[in-house]
Structure 1
Amino acid sequence: MKNTFIKFATATAMLAAMGAAATAQTVLKFSHTDNPGGSRQAAAEVFAEKVAEYTEGRYEVRIFPSGQLANDPKAIEQLQLGGIDFTVSATGSYASHLPSLNLTAMPFLVDSYEQGWDLYDNSEWLTGEFAKLPEKGFRVLSTWEAGFRSFTTKEPLNSPADAVGEKMRVFPNDMIRWTMEAIGFQTVVMPITDVYLAIQQGTVSGQENPVDTIKSLRFYEVAPNITLTRHVYSPLPLTIAEKTWQSFSEADQAAVLQAAVESAAFSRDLVKNSVDSQLAEMVEAGATVVVPVIGPFRDAVASVYGKARDVYGAEEVDKILADAEAIRIALPAN
């Protein structure tokens, strides 16, 4: 009886171990600051599904939205430290680790989504800058979409004159800060996860982000004046910890890269085609949307290009401006 029990227990343990091995997965952490109903979450879910499919279930991408694990700057630091495996954030968020990426946030660089996609996929200068990131501890897999940055403010913003004396939230990016100050705002740096409450309490009078982010994070509820300046194109590079990337086999690297490219196509299509309906929903909820005369805003930020040349070097600035100009000529906005 004793031997029979031992054999049964051993067999049961072996079956359990076999079952565990059959279902074992490596869990990869994906952190972002968008709300669960936003486009980043939707694209992250597509990415997670594709990773599982293309690696035949060996990897599970576990998504942590709403800044649960970290705000944008901290998430990028966590990539470097190995605390998380993936994040997605505005290009300027990565500039703390490669300052030249600030130049992608120069005002009015491109005029359409198609121009922006071409810039991020084909610009010789930008491709070269992204190639420097693995030595910083992370690499770009693809570029998701967020759109063009515009304003939400408590009071109407019809021209730069309305910005004078008002406090504008910015994330830690020189180019964005210079642009806001050139328009006339006083700037206050803070994480995006703190912005809603800061506007509500009067710490700042507004913020600037793409329409998709404004809708997802409900900034229109506390700053109901939406001004569509589209002053900066602000896509979202999807990045992976270099330590995680190097842990993959070549086949798994190819699988994850394919998932990243396909989720980027999904993200671009979703965001571009959602803007009008998102604006309509916000108007229905009580927001006001205006498209101002852009000329005065363009004139106000003209000094930013000179400042960029002084800080980052005329050669670097002229390279990205030349790439952007060539794209605008090849793909004129409608």
Structure 2
Amino acid sequence: MTRTTKPRLILASLVSGVICGLGLWVTQASAETTLRLAHASSPDSLINKAIEKFAAEVADTTKGSVKIQIFPNAQLGDEGPIADGVGAGAIDIGLGGAVDAIDPRLNVLSLPFLFRDADNVHKFLDSEQGQKVQRLGEDRGYLMLGVLDSGFRQFATSKAIVTPADLAGVKIRTPPNPVILATMKELGALAESIPFGQVYTALQSHVVAAVEPEMRDYYDSKWYEVVKNLSISNYIWTANWWYMNKDKFETLTPDEQAAVKKSASDTVAWYRSELTATYAETQKKLEAKGVTVTTVDTTPFVALVKPVYDKFSSEWGADLVSAVKQAATSN
């Protein structure tokens, strides 16, 4: 061996070692997956607390091979754009009530007076029919991880709502949900689809005289400062659908997929367990702010909304609406 050959061999060995080290680093780096999760709820909401729990459990169960990066408060867009983003693969996981991109038939669970209470909702979601509904978006590339309650919607005005006549001709703010709009029409109210962030001003300036909020939104957004009567009707239940890009899910290893599904299931159970206490606490806070909370006899309201069921039976299929209604009634 010549003097020049030995240094070359040493250098080649060093280079080889560096390349092997880089290869190992690249392999380790590629083994870590970061999933972008977006929702429109505030950072201090129960929704975000649930998602933080989910992220921690996924990281722990996968030993860090899957990490969840959370974007709350509509940082990546409102609920509609989030659903579009997950479908396109720009966002990995989303939550929200906007379902047009996933499957409009998911709105079947928002039919008026479909559910009695939260326990009724949860039993339905866990039933065979509930699981069928949650699979509706799979042919469009969405995998449902679970459903978190957005909650029952109520009536809030300057006076208590006792009968449907109290809503007749009343301008009421609603989200642009087709079921809610159709329901308000049958109840005689004049629905106005005003963006969430503009509701307080709309109430204050009398553009609308009422809202139909979920109780936590009513409190968090301080709408009680303008309309101080909350009439508990549970007239519609709405969901925070929790979904993932199906192709992205399938890039995970079988163990990682199982960890994501298990963590989501655990989070749904935890979230449900927190709801009763959360609503009780919220009602106490509202009453302390001078809000009058009453309970509505819904019998005369239910009698008016049959045309809503007829309308969406035509749009979504009578078999689907009938099966969901039957399953909800039997739970």
Which of 54-63 and 126-135 deviates more?
A: 126-135
Cα distance in 2 for residues equivalent to 1:207 and 1:241: 34
Which of 208-217 and 250-259 deviates more?
A: 208-217
Match 2:217 to one of 208, 213, 217: 213
Which amino acid is the alignment partner of residue 240 of structure 1?
M
TM-aligned CA deviation for residue 68 of structure 1: 1.9
Match 1:76 to one of 76, 83, 87: 83
TM-aligned CA deviation for residue 130 of structure 1: 2.5
TM-aligned CA deviation for residue 284 of structure 1: 1.2
Match 1:55 to one of 54, 62, 66: 62
Which amino acid is the alignment partner of residue 237 of structure 1?
W
Q: Percent identity?
A: 26
| CA 200–56 in structure 1, closer or farther in 2 if over 3 Å, else same | farther
2:87/2:101 contact within 8 Å kept: no
TM-aligned CA deviation for residue 79 of structure 1: 0.7
Report SS of the residue matched to 2:133: helix
Give the aligned CA root-mean-square deviation in angstroms.
Answer: 2.8
Residues 1:41 and 2:45 aligned together:
no
Which amino acid is the alignment partner of residue 107 of structure 1?
P
* Aligned equivalent of 1:258: 262
Cα distance in 2 for residues equivalent to 1:165 and 1:246: 51
| CA 24–315 in structure 1, closer or farther in 2 if over 3 Å, else same | closer
TM-aligned CA deviation for residue 194 of structure 1: 4.1
* Aligned equivalent of 2:190: 186
Residues 1:118 and 2:117 aligned together:
no
2:66/2:256 contact within 8 Å kept: no
| CA 139–279 in structure 1, closer or farther in 2 if over 3 Å, else same | same
Match 2:181 to one of 177, 182, 190: 177
2:106/2:133 contact within 8 Å kept: yes
Instruction: Show the 5 A alignment for 1:1-334.
Output: 25-90=32-97, 93-95=98-100, 97-124=102-129, 126-327=130-331
| CA 156–87 in structure 1, closer or farther in 2 if over 3 Å, else same | same
Where do 5+ consecutive residues of structure 2 fail to align? 1-13
Tell me how many residue pairs correspond in the alignment.
314
Cα distance in 2 for residues equivalent to 1:83 and 1:220: 38
Which amino acid is the alignment partner of residue 46 of structure 1?
K
| CA 219–65 in structure 1, closer or farther in 2 if over 3 Å, else same | farther
* Aligned equivalent of 1:3: none
Please list the CA deviations of residues 68-107 of structure 1 after superposition, one character each: whole Å capped at 9, or x if unmatched: 22111111111111221222223xx214542322221111
Cα distance in 1 for residues equivalent to 2:91 and 2:308: 35
1:153/1:225 contact within 8 Å kept: yes
Please list the CA deviations of residues 125-184 of structure 1 after superposition, one character each: whole Å capped at 9, or x if unmatched: x42233231221211111222322212334543322222222223233221111111112
Please list the CA deviations of residues 173-200 of structure 1 after superposition, one character each: whole Å capped at 9, or x if unmatched: 2211111111122122344344344434
TM-aligned CA deviation for residue 22 of structure 1: 7.6
1:143/1:237 contact within 8 Å kept: yes
Cα distance in 2 for residues equivalent to 1:181 and 1:88: 28
Which amino acid is the alignment partner of residue 55 of structure 1?
T
Which of 262-271 and 244-253 deviates more?
A: 244-253
TM-aligned CA deviation for residue 52 of structure 1: 0.9
2:157/2:230 contact within 8 Å kept: yes
Cα distance in 1 for residues equivalent to 2:308 and 2:36: 37
Please list the CA deviations of residues 202-249 of structure 1 after superposition, one character each: whole Å capped at 9, or x if unmatched: 443333232233334433334332111101222322111223212211
Runs of 4+ in 1 over 4 A off after TM superposition: 17-25
Cα distance in 1 for residues equivalent to 2:153 and 2:255: 37
Cα distance in 2 for residues equivalent to 1:81 and 1:19: 27
| CA 314–115 in structure 1, closer or farther in 2 if over 3 Å, else same | same
Cα distance in 2 for residues equivalent to 1:213 and 1:36: 14
Cα distance in 1 for residues equivalent to 2:136 and 2:54: 24
Report SS of the residue matched to 1:111: coil
| CA 204–73 in structure 1, closer or farther in 2 if over 3 Å, else same | farther
